[in-house]
Structure 1
């Protein structure tokens, strides 16, 4: 595999460093000193990294926008005596109808639960369904912290199911149980994700390097980067109260493994080249770092800057993901340009066994797959460019088939008990929503608020639940099922009606209102963050490529890749994967990942193309040479990055499945279609104008020559 970007004209051996020879002792000391420094860093980082999992927050407010009405409800609930309530719904049911013995057993179980947990308002009374097959007991627990809430849900479930007559089932649902099930699912994500990602990256590195040892060094380095990033993120949590969700931590892990391995592939490929030119590994490594360093810096800077733009989002989970992901990318860059080079130099040439690059040897010659691709572009550039654009446009139309907004009950790949309980209640109580809409209002206006709520279309009833600190919580039941269009319409009407109640200062929240606010906030965030990301990435590309047209082409190409990936998602999510909805944060997050990560490969291609042009090649030949020499390593990098994001699809959380699919497909499209054909064809057609308005666009083009057989993959 060939590397990217050199400071001297590509294809020529570098001159010796001005007659100076580096002392042998220094050659040995430098890598060992770097290794010792990283061992010291790890010793300090490991204890902090181990605490990040405990610092992750997955309560509802962690995923809500700061400015939303439903977030205000949660904040006001926390100020009530006992804090935010844990709302549970205990559902007893029997196919064919409950017997008198069933009802007595249910009442006994609820009495035992009330005796153990002292619910607000005492032991609840059962609410029978009209068909006689289900009985509902709403239970409100207060004064519990996060750990106590989890323990309470477990205990309530155990007590509810204890000693029931055969055929009688007990299920515990409601917002508190749903929150518990979400945290249980997220709790299983970290270990599963880490093991699966390590396995995928290890397999791909072994296949790429075909060496029994070499693959271990990038994998070890990625592991060090992960530990360091976790430690830094934990320090940010402690210093700035940064919100870190399990989703953010999971995505950071994938970013580190994907991007870090990409950086390793590019560096190792260039190092292999330099070992053929320099007798000592340290000299070869320093030349490799000087050669591909600018591209690596630009690549990581683009991704980090794109992620930092997420800080402008109102959605807490999205804005928290920005700095977390950026820390992961920067730690990856730091490790891959310091620790990995030190390990490679210490191991010497033999680490490449059995394909050892000998000093003075020539890489395997041959045109190669990417050379043939370039030849096809040179023969039919217009047809290839037009065909690629039409294909991406056609795929993008699939976005019209994307499912509607994801409901809470559909956010798991497997159905937990809380969702089963809510489904049972929806069937048993079609006339009344068992999951309340929560309203917070000033004490003095409670009678007016209750009257206004009960007169609102789509509302079955409203009643005060608890008070404190000048505020009262009011439980409002809609006539339509949870998260249905009817309930959403009732919430909108309720917000309009209560806003007109004098002195109420009312806020409307609850699970459905939270989902509505998330959807609205995500739409607003896209309008703000997407242009910001495009602007920041464009500026970085302009600074790197010294022009405006080439950056615009690269940016348009990766946006088209994202659109096509989202279109393919519309054709796959429902019909193939059976996903019932799209998380509202997915379009924004996949755009940031798709553009920031996808443009990396354009950077590697265009940077090498510019180096070839500066070295004296005509722009058209420079484009084909860049494709031929960078194709193998970038294809490997794209496969690794796509594979690491594909790991997210194996997890039981629908949001992570959707993010993994869209980003992985976008990366593959960018690697094998956009960069290979569309960008190369556009560059071929534009010629030197592709560098407009930079100095290369005004420099006379040298005469084109027949291309000589190119070096192969650098092995």
Structure 2
């Protein structure tokens, strides 16, 4: 039983003021350093897809060989100038003059072209540019120059890998400021509604923001030292995850602090009582999410491996902020934090009611929910399971095998439009060839196989001294040779990011290996293909690991086997329902062509880890109440006192993840919907009805093999509503 500090207990000065002030000052210092670092994350961030491939991928091996044929890390920008009619000689001459202007730009050296199309309605330039942070600026300069210099009335585009990379970077441009502003605004409004207080929402938000600044410092340091690879996706997820998790932990602590203030007039004693009561569930919750995220280290994709420690670092900082900074602020503010609705000290007789049913002291929706659970437990949990199963059938419509890069950006994109223009007038894979690494002695035979493969528009050996990633069509007399290997560039008939191009790469790999068993096929298309393949393999590998480690944590926390197994089953079922509904929405309402191959895995990790969070909050309180009153009354009491705070936490987390939807990247929009909807489903249906009803129906056996609950005289049989007593106590849940 939780001990209640005596009202008259005198707390030493150092504990009342010195420790809280030191903690706040320490966090102010962290924020002072970490805040400015937020704008520097772009220095250690990259969105180059090839750099996130697993070391075992064929495209990675091909890329390493490709690097030996060049001294720079150039990527091609493909310029297309399109006319409604055939170019006149004068117009072609004007277009050709652009070449010199492009070569005078900073960051541009050799320009290949102009290359006219067969229908004479378009010309093409290939401009290799340095792959660096400046890609976005260089591409914009290219677009400005081409638009200004092209013949009147013509459409101009800068596309290819460089153009798409620049537009992707522009789409991520809102992550640093807009995303954070939207998320914090949404959380602030929700907290105002929940607490009906101005100071408390500000305090909770400060805790979240300070946790984020600490996480940024940690992540920046890891990226700077080369321990992780940071990209725009993991950067956006970090902000959302830290704000959401820190707010959730803060809500749980504040609920226990408010409850403790009804037992004592001493705010320091209340702070310590709340800290002791909330420490275990907050720690278990944070540890569960951290370990689940670190399971991503088993991923075959470097991008997934990077997200694991990045997000885990964020949760760790959220955990520390909720257990140090927030209690310190509460110790300084005391009851004033809740102004104008300050909690009052209850009479001694009302602080801990003698429960016979578990509904004593509850009011409103949570009394009604508890009453429904106690009267019809089996009906409630069976209906909940059936509803989730029906929703899960939508997962059969999920198309998570990758999407073309041109579909990733959801806003207008000059590069995407340029790919369409390329497809109208040239081989659609122009500027993004498949790259074949072959033995010098077998070069001619491999080249012949490549040219004979369906879907290949043209193929040629890389000539000595030419630009490696583009080369020049023809059959060079002196091919470039490195360590006995040559490069063959194959221009694909289909767009480099299309499924047809991926099929061509698969066919190329099969064909060239019949001549040269050691031949490698890489390039933009092969990179995307190997990324999707690795992501689908990760799904099968990581999910069992995540389930196993979370199950062990729950068993240790609840000192039970049956309850954790049932909780995990409920969370997995909730995940299936969320993915099923998401698939229907993506296909039939949002019109997405599919989903990124990593979406199911990320959705699983976040939903399972965060869904278990709420079950930890609920069942740890149920266990606490069951020790005092018996299992069934303890279930109803736990449901009632945690109902408001967990629902509020779920709404906050859903709102923060929904904010990811403002970034016009398909992956983030899809992840935002899956997690936001899944969290709401978990808090409203699974945690409020399914888990309590199932636990109530099973009774004290839910704690098997522990003997918890069997000694209680308060347990009563399911199927009939318990009579409420007149004993009242303040509901510690918020909302």
Place the TM-score, normalised by the shorter chain, in its bin.
Answer: over 0.9
1:652 paired residue number: 664
| Normalised TM-score (structure 1) | 0.92
1:4 paired residue number: none
Paired with 1:468 and 1:44, the residues of 2 have a C-alpha distance of 50
1:532 paired residue number: 545
2:511 paired residue number: 497
Paired with 1:573 and 1:374, the residues of 2 have a C-alpha distance of 36
Deviation, 1:85, is 2.9
Q: Deviations over 1:150-189 (max 9, x none)?
A: 4432332222222333211211111121112212222332
2:406 paired residue number: 409
Structure 1 position 695 matched with structure 2 position 707: yes
Paired with 1:85 and 1:431, the residues of 2 have a C-alpha distance of 21
2:196 to 210, 217, 220: 210
Structure 1 position 483 matched with structure 2 position 497: yes
Structure 1 position 39 matched with structure 2 position 39: no
1:157 to 140, 143, 147: 143
Does the Cα contact within 8 Å between 1:77 and 1:83 map onto a contact in 2? no
Deviation, 1:320, is 0.4
Paired with 2:509 and 2:643, the residues of 1 have a C-alpha distance of 56
Does the Cα contact within 8 Å between 1:110 and 1:160 map onto a contact in 2? no
2:4 to 1, 14, 18: 14
Q: 1:468 to 1:201 in 2, by over 3 A?
A: farther
Structure 1 position 138 matched with structure 2 position 117: no
Paired with 1:447 and 1:152, the residues of 2 have a C-alpha distance of 38
2:312 to 317, 326, 331: 326
Structure 1 position 543 matched with structure 2 position 556: yes
Deviation, 1:244, is 1.2
1:552 to 541, 545, 565: 565
Q: Report SS of the residue matched to 2:133.
A: helix
Deviation, 1:602, is 0.6
Deviation, 1:24, is 4.3
Does the Cα contact within 8 Å between 1:558 and 1:670 map onto a contact in 2? yes
2:420 to 397, 416, 423: 423
Structure 1 position 608 matched with structure 2 position 621: yes
| Normalised TM-score (structure 2) | 0.90
Alignment of 1:508-523 (within 5 A): 508-523=521-536
Deviation, 1:407, is 1.1
Paired with 2:530 and 2:182, the residues of 1 have a C-alpha distance of 34
Q: Report SS of the residue matched to 2:532.
A: helix
Paired with 1:176 and 1:673, the residues of 2 have a C-alpha distance of 46
Structure 1 window deviating more from structure 2 (276-285 vs 95-104): it is: 95-104
Structure 1 window deviating more from structure 2 (19-28 vs 207-216): it is: 19-28
2:587 paired residue number: 574
Q: 1:23 to 1:112 in 2, by over 3 A?
A: closer
Deviation, 1:699, is 4.8
Q: Deviations over 1:367-416 (max 9, x none)?
A: 22022112112222222222111111111111222245211000011131
Q: Report SS of the residue matched to 2:261.
A: helix
Structure 1 position 392 matched with structure 2 position 381: no
Paired with 2:108 and 2:39, the residues of 1 have a C-alpha distance of 36
Structure 1 position 52 matched with structure 2 position 41: yes
Deviation, 1:112, is 2.6
Q: Report SS of the residue matched to 1:580.
A: coil
Does the Cα contact within 8 Å between 2:76 and 2:431 map onto a contact in 1? no
2:472 paired residue number: none
Q: Deviations over 1:446-477 (max 9, x none)?
A: 33321221122322221123346434432212
1:374 paired residue number: 370
Paired with 1:390 and 1:661, the residues of 2 have a C-alpha distance of 22
Deviation, 1:192, is 1.4
Does the Cα contact within 8 Å between 2:9 and 2:266 map onto a contact in 1? no
Deviation, 1:428, is 2.8
Structure 1 position 251 matched with structure 2 position 237: yes
Paired with 1:37 and 1:176, the residues of 2 have a C-alpha distance of 44
Q: Report SS of the residue matched to 1:51.
A: helix
Structure 1 window deviating more from structure 2 (705-714 vs 287-296): it is: 705-714
Paired with 1:485 and 1:45, the residues of 2 have a C-alpha distance of 43
1:30 paired residue number: 19
Paired with 2:14 and 2:431, the residues of 1 have a C-alpha distance of 76
Deviation, 1:15, is 4.6
Please tell me the root mean square deviation across aligned C-alpha atoms, in Å.
2.4
Deviation, 1:14, is 1.4
Q: 1:309 to 1:455 in 2, by over 3 A?
A: same
2:74 paired residue number: 85
Does the Cα contact within 8 Å between 2:633 and 2:715 map onto a contact in 1? no
Structure 1 window deviating more from structure 2 (212-221 vs 101-110): it is: 101-110
2:719 paired residue number: none
Paired with 2:664 and 2:715, the residues of 1 have a C-alpha distance of 58
Paired with 2:82 and 2:97, the residues of 1 have a C-alpha distance of 15
Number of aligned residues: 699
Deviation, 1:219, is 0.7
Q: 1:707 to 1:611 in 2, by over 3 A?
A: farther
1:66 paired residue number: 55
Q: 1:530 to 1:462 in 2, by over 3 A?
A: same
Q: Report SS of the residue matched to 1:338.
A: helix
Does the Cα contact within 8 Å between 2:635 and 2:695 map onto a contact in 1? yes
List gaps (5 residues or longer) in structure 2.
352-359, 463-467, 469-479, 717-721
Paired with 2:711 and 2:116, the residues of 1 have a C-alpha distance of 83
Q: 1:330 to 1:479 in 2, by over 3 A?
A: same
Does the Cα contact within 8 Å between 2:95 and 2:151 map onto a contact in 1? no
Q: 1:433 to 1:158 in 2, by over 3 A?
A: closer
Paired with 2:602 and 2:428, the residues of 1 have a C-alpha distance of 38
2:682 to 657, 660, 670: 670
Q: Report SS of the residue matched to 1:480.
A: coil
Deviation, 1:700, is 6.4
Structure 1 position 626 matched with structure 2 position 657: no
Deviation, 1:432, is 7.0
Q: 1:626 to 1:464 in 2, by over 3 A?
A: same
Q: 1:149 to 1:80 in 2, by over 3 A?
A: farther
Does the Cα contact within 8 Å between 2:437 and 2:487 map onto a contact in 1? yes
2:653 paired residue number: 641
Structure 1 window deviating more from structure 2 (77-86 vs 446-455): it is: 77-86
